[in-house]
Structure 1
Amino acid sequence: MFVSATILHADLDAFYASVEQRDDPALRGRPVIVGGGVVLAASYEAKAFGVRTAMSGGQARRLCPGAVVVPPRMAAYTAASRAVFAVFRATTPLVEGLSIDEAFLDVDGLRRAPARVAAALRREVAEEVGLPITVGVARTKFLAKVASGVAKPDGLLVVPPDGELDFLRPLPVRRLWGVGPATAAKLARYGVTTVGGVADMPEATLTALLGPGAGRHLHALARNRDPRPVRTGVRRRSMGAQRALGRRERTPGELDVIVVGLADRLGGRLRKARRVCRTVTLRLRFGDFARATRSRTLSQATADTAVILTALRGLLAAAAPMIAERGLTLVGVSLGDLHDDRAVQLALPFDQGRAVDRAVDGVRDRFGSSAITRAVLLGRDPGVSMPMLPD
């Protein structure tokens, strides 16, 4: 006996660009790019020319010369997100937000069929907020998210419980969570290019190829084994921020300024949320769009900016040869393994809190304290900033 498909994955379409088209009728039906130095979002009209999120602005304009480029308006996007989530919560109290523009909803127990709930949700978001949204409906969170991806843009797709594997098996292997270009290339060398091909591989083969964690994870997903419920009120296990740099070469001193700003911002967010972290991760994107990630696990959980900054500087120094050789277009920082500060014993030297002040003071001494420099320190340069809010 099958359990009903009662989980919805609702995902706003090209969110930032859709808000711009909603607010300016002259942009409707035209290719729109949000962000100048780096593409934060692209309308589907721009995507048809090959424009993608995180692409450099120059490349995007070469691909789509007729695109309208607009600066980001984060206040407008935040307001739109709140309005959409109000519709979600009016539909069901079981809402698990994933980002500013997507969420899972559990509609089990409602008196209407899930497909009708999903259709009504799409209609209400369009009428009340003025934005297109795609909804996938399935028995598991994983499959609901896959369904919404297949149904984009502005679509609705219901995967019936008795048709799950028929739907899933022909899909490209990249539809599996956790499969990026490198993993897809490894699987392709074994002739595996579809989800069905992964499902047919023995778990032992997958774990030998990809490692125990990734192998077991993909083995389960390829068979649609995902027991996770929709959870409300769950605190995030990580937080992050990033800065897009454009194509201009940055000096080590300029990169240090950026890392100081990111550490300062995230340390403040940790303390405000009364949380601490154990893992510090540096994320880099190079001039050829390849990416690298470097992490360090701290000996003690902390919310101290100086400790976080020290770890980041060490990671950045270790990556310096790669940066010099390949160029750098984005720097990101994430803090992981978060816990409530009251639940963790902290052991921090008294004077560590002053270290970040000295670092920031050093930056000010070198670059001045103009409004532009303050924006750089805070990671808020509107021309190049790219907040970690998935679109």
Structure 2
Amino acid sequence: MLLYATVPGFYAEVERAAQPDLEARPVLVGGHPRKRGTVQAATEDARRAGVLVGMPVMEALALCPQARALRTNMRLYRETSKRLFAHFRREAARVEAAGLDAAYLDLTGSDEDPAEVAARLRRSVAEALRLPLQVGAAPIKFVAKLAAEECEDEGVLWVEAGSVRSFLDPLGVDRLPGAGPRTVERLHGLSVRTVGAFAALARETIETELGNHGLMLHALAVGRDVARLRAAPHPRSMSQESTLAEPELEREILAERLAELTQDLERSLALERLAAKRIVLKVRYGDREATTRSRTVPHPLHRSDDLLRLAEQLLDRTQVGRRPVGRIGLALSGLVRVGGDDRQLDLFDES
């Protein structure tokens, strides 16, 4: 069984979650209204007012005048996406990303009810991130995605193996993956408007009218899909950087910045249940020359105090105190799942 989990209007919902004063107000995200910017995302209340992705922001505001229009903030969306995917990985070992806002989760081998997993996932994302998650469950990838799109207010829709055809049949034929405008127009010319009507079409007619592409679509219409989940491993690295307002010479101030970075990294590691075996310190001096120092430890680390102790040792191997520093950063790699072995820093190898 597969889950497809998504946050509709992701950019706009992230902005609303980040700004509590927007909770009761429609939100649009896109380009500058006065420069013919277009809508990239909209919250559900804005979509109900007729706002569509791709329309000019000025037109969207005319349809939904109470909406707040915001410019795109990709850094915020990427950071939130990392946290969202950490929740996905807590529920399934195999996860395939489908953009910043969605993923397929493989529940193969789990005895737990998919609807219960989906409900728990929705609760955890709502509580931790204040984001509205929609989840579809099905034995086939594209059906799970369609189920998530169809679940409406309930937030979860489970299409069991024996119900795939009854779920697909009433849907418009344009909902099939790969059914573009020209294909849909050809099918409408044959009086075929639903998936069920397409499934009932003779193979010879499909091959004559649509060729091999039509046969592929027909396989989907009858509930056959050979697409497999392509799971990505957990993140291979994590990093945090801090730019100082003015180049800084004092080691104590730089150590304070390192403390903030290690706390952020500890939270990121905890979300993914990971620990790191390698840490890299990145320093850019005031004259923009950059240098790095690194160390590898035999036993993975995930606590901020351990990371900070090692980062400060690396800092002492730079020219800090003699040359002003404009930017400082830390990168972690050699990431592994947290296990029982969590020894301290007395056993490390220099590299």
Q: TM-score band, normalised by the shorter chain?
A: 0.5 to 0.7
What RMSD, in angstroms, separates the aligned Cα atoms of the two structures?
1.6
CA distance in 2, matches of 1:42, 1:157: 23
Matched, 1:175 2:170: no
**What amino acid maps onto 2:9 in structure 1?**
A
Distance in 1, Cα, partners of 2:29 & 2:121: 26
Q: Say which structure is richer in strand.
A: 2
CA distance in structure 2 between the partners assigned to 1:23 and 1:77 by the alignment: 10
Q: Distance in 2 between matches of 1:152 and 1:100?
A: 21
Please report how far the alpha carbon of residue 215 of structure 1 lies from its aligned counterpart in structure 2 after TM superposition: 0.6
Counterpart residue number, 1:132: 132
Residue deviations 1:75-110, cap 9 Å, x none? 111011000101111111110111111111111212
Map of 1:63 onto structure 2: 63
Q: Could you say which residue in structure 2 is the equivalent of 1:28? A: 23
Correspondence for 1:10: 5
Deviations 1:15-52 (A, max 9, x none): 01101111112211322110131101011111112111
Q: Name the SS of the counterpart of 1:121 in structure 2.
A: helix
Alpha-carbon separation, structure 2, partners of 1:208 and 1:17: 44
Q: Specify the alignment match of 1:221 in structure 2.
A: 220
Is the CA contact (8 Å cut-off) linking 1:148 and 1:157 kept in structure 2?
Answer: yes
Preserved contact between residue 7 and residue 104 of structure 1 (Cα < 8 Å): yes
Change (3 A) 1:40 1:27: same
Asked if structure 2 preserves the Cα contact closer than 8 Å seen for 1:122 and 1:134, the reply is yes
* Correspondences of 1:214-363 after superposition (within 5 Å): 214-233=213-232
**Would the aligned equivalents of 2:97 and 2:232 in 1 still touch at CA under 8 Å?**
no
CA distance in 2, matches of 1:32, 1:154: 22
Query: Do the aligned residues in 1 keep the contact of 2:17 with 2:129 (CA within 8 Å)?
Result: no
TM-score of the two chains, using structure 1 as the length reference? 0.56
Confirm or deny: 8 A CA contact 2:141 2:229 kept in the other structure: yes
Q: Is the 8 A contact 1:38 1:56 kept in 2?
A: yes
Separation (CA, whole Å) in 2 of partners of 1:95 and 1:58: 38
Q: Secondary structure at the match of 2:98?
A: strand
- Quick one: distance in 2 between partners of 1:14 and 1:154? 17
Task: Quote the residue 2:186 is aligned against.
Answer: 186
Counterpart residue identity of residue 25, structure 1: P
| Residue identity in the other structure for 1:85 | F
TM-score (norm 2): 0.62
CA distance in 1 between counterparts of 2:211 and 2:153 reads 35
Shift of 1:154: 6.4
In 2, Cα distance between the equivalents of 1:67 and 1:153?
Answer: 22
Q: Which residue of 1 aligns with 2:114?
A: 114
Q: Which deviations, in whole Å up to 9, do the C-alpha atoms of 1:198-252 show, x marking residues without a partner?
A: 101123322322232x212211010110132222139xxxxxxxxxxxxxxxxxx
User: In structure 2, what residue type is equivalent to 1:220?
Assistant: A
Secondary structure class of the residue paired with 1:211:
helix
SS at match of 1:162: helix
For residues 60 and 210 of structure 1, the distance between their equivalents in structure 2, rounded to whole angstroms, comes to: 37
Q: What's the CA shift string for 1:262-297, capped at 9, x where partnerless?
A: xxxxxxxxxxxxxxxxxxxxxxxxxxxxxxxxxxxx
Gaps of at least 5 residues in structure 1 are 1-5, 235-391
Q: CA deviation at 1:162?
A: 1.4
Distance 2:59 2:208 in 1: 39
How far has the Cα of 1:153 moved from its partner?
A: 5.7
Contact 2:147 2:158 in 1 (8 A): yes
Give the SS at the match of 2:150.
Answer: helix
Larger radius of gyration, structure 1 or 2? 2
DSSP 3-state at the match of 2:3: strand
What is residue 93 of structure 1 aligned with on the other side? 93
* 1:33 alignment partner, SS class: strand
CA distance, structure 1, for counterparts of residue 104 and residue 152 of structure 2: 16
1:121 Cα deviation from its structure 2 partner: 1.1
The answer to whether the 8 A contact 1:8-1:138 is kept is yes
**Residues 136 and 148 in structure 1, CA contact (< 8 A), matched pair in contact too:** yes
Separation in 2, partners of 1:209, 1:172: 19
Distance of 1:76 and 1:208 partners within structure 2: 49
1:43 is matched with which residue?
43
Shift of 1:126: 1.1
